[in-house]
Amino acid sequence: MFKNVRDYLEKLKKELQGCDPALIQDALSDAEGHLRTAIDEAISKNPDQSETEVLGPIIEKYGIPSEIASAYRSIETHITPALAVSTRPDKRSFWGKFFGVLAESRAWGAFFYMLLAFIPGIIFGGWALFAGLISAFSLLFIIGLPIFGLFLLSLRGIALLEGRIIEALLGVRMPRRPLFLKKGLSWSDRYIALVKDKYSWRALLYAVLLFPLGFIYSGLFSLLFVFSLGFITSPVLELVFRVPLDLFGDNIFTPVWFLPIVSVAGLLLLPLTLHLAKLAGKIHGRFAKSMFVRK
Amino acid sequence: MAYTTDANKKFQKELNSGTAALVLLSILARADKPMYGYRIAKLMEVDEKNVPMMKQGALYPVLRSLESSGLLESHVDPSISGPPRRYYKITETGLEALKNWVTIWDQTKDFVDDILKGKNDV
């Protein structure tokens, strides 16, 4: 019925059509890992048998693609990312929605992702830039080939880790399993497949872009947060602690009659910042998904 | 005949949907080290004797579901012989859930057994 594992995976992919691409990638990864281990074990017991011969009974136990697809579909409806978007229609008023964001875990998740984006930006982006340059330079010598291969592999690990952070904080479903290379290939063919795989390069591009993006996100959102907190507490800061907000120049106190207006502006700026974080998180999540998930 | 087979399959599937999670938690609670999907499936194969409880492939989404509920945790390790493997381990919350589930299971089993054996005939 199935010639090889690839054939089975193709059918499983077809059966999972319409599902979340990240779920499809996980299901294919689970199936590939299981079937390959089972085949290896069966062939080690009966070395005369081919992959096609041992595959039949293995799939009989594992399940045909339609059964497996249905199992993933039924379970996936119960699993949503930690901070997933609610599918219920939002019937709140405009102001209800505007201030309601303060109680939304997803908005705070996105806000903290944005606020701290400089950390993965420095680590992932820094690694991609420096290790990338060093491994590219080492390609001038023969020893550079394995170094460059290891560098590309490390990028896949980074992509998986960043995907987990994005799913937890931005609520965007991302792959939970690593990408595999085809099995049975020689070391040189594996190396070529790794270099040729566009996902290796996409992960590199993402890591490099995260470097400036991380600083932009963190800079913008820390500024907005500090401003909104400063505005809200301006009456206390200026009247009690005598700390000027410097709105009208260096060390010039805001007129007392203007302080309530500044405070209200701060109260509006804080939810606005969270709405902006949600929007930025949504766009960034989509961008990351388009870079990491196989279509 | 076709109806009977379909009905049996449906009944088995409905039974499995809850028991698979209990079985997997129980296996992982007994394991002295983290286990990957294929090993768990092989272990169940030995335990289930002649009655296949569920297709091995259907275990993976259940493992995933248990992990997303915080009852299991996992990590990926490279394998010398093949693709990287995901190793699962039961969490403290998982152990606690297992304890409660076993109690629920025992109560359900006793209740169904009593009904099937006609102990409480009217």
| pTM of the predicted structure, to 2 decimals | 0.57
CA distance A272 to chain B (A): 31
Instruction: Collect all residues of chain A within an 8 Å Cβ-Cβ radius of residue B10.
Output: none
The CATH number of the domain where B26 resides is what? 1.10.10.10
Residue to test with chain A: of B10, B40, B43, B60, most A Cβ within 10 A: B60
Q: Do A34 and B82 touch (CB under 8 A)?
A: no
Residue A112 · residue A275 · CB < 8 Å: no
Tokens of A143: 């020893």
- Which letter, b or e, does each residue of A105-131 get, where b requires 16 or more Cβ atoms within 10 Å of its Cβ? ebbbbbbebbbbbbebbebbbebbeeb
Predicted local confidence at residue B89, as pLDDT? 93
The CB-side HSE value for A198 (13 A sphere, CA atoms) comes to 6
Question: How many whole angstroms separate alpha carbon A214 and alpha carbon A280?
Answer: 12
On average, the pLDDT of chain B sits at: 83
Q: Do A61 and B45 touch (CB under 8 A)?
A: yes
Domain that holds residue B30: 2-116
As a whole number of angstroms, the distance between CA B108 and CA B115 comes to 11
The mean pLDDT value for B5-16 works out to 76
Q: Is residue B49 part of a domain?
A: yes
Q: What is the pLDDT of residues B12-69, one digit of tens each?
A: 777 777 788 999 999 999 998 999 999 998 888 766 555 567 788 989 999 988 888 8
Report the number of distinct structural domains present in chain B. Answer: 1
Query: Cα A5–A10–A12 angle (5° rounding)?
Result: 95
DSSP-derived 3-state class of residue A14 = helix
Give a yes or no: residue B121 inside a domain.
Answer: no
The answer to whether A61 faces chain B, any CB pair under 8 Å, is yes
Residues of B in contact with A28 (CB under 8 A): none
Evaluate whether A115 touches A169 at the Cβ level (below 8 Å): no
| Residue of A73, A258, A87, A184 lying closest to A266 (CA atoms) | A258
Six-digit token string for B7: 């009905």
* Domain annotation covers residue B122: no
Q: What are phi and psi of A18, to 5 degrees?
A: 95, -15
CA A247 and chain centroid, separation: 39
pLDDT for A116: 94
ipTM higher than threshold 0.85: no
pLDDT in tens, chain A (295 residues): 788 888 899 999 999 988 888 788 888 888 988 998 888 888 888 888 888 888 888 998 899 999 899 888 887 665 555 544 444 556 678 788 888 888 888 899 999 999 999 999 999 999 999 988 888 888 888 888 888 888 888 888 888 888 888 888 888 877 766 665 555 667 777 778 778 888 888 889 999 999 999 999 999 999 999 989 988 888 887 777 777 776 666 667 777 787 888 889 889 999 999 999 999 999 999 898 888 876 5
For residues B10 and B17, the answer to whether their CB atoms sit within 8 Å is no
Interface test with A, best of B13, B16, B56 (most A CBs within 10 A): B56
Residue A78, judged by CB atoms within 10 A of its CB (0-12, 13-18, 19+), counts as exposed
Q: How far apart are CA B6 and CA A220, in angstroms?
A: 59
Query: Is the distance from CB of B57 to CB of A34 less than 8 angstroms?
Result: yes
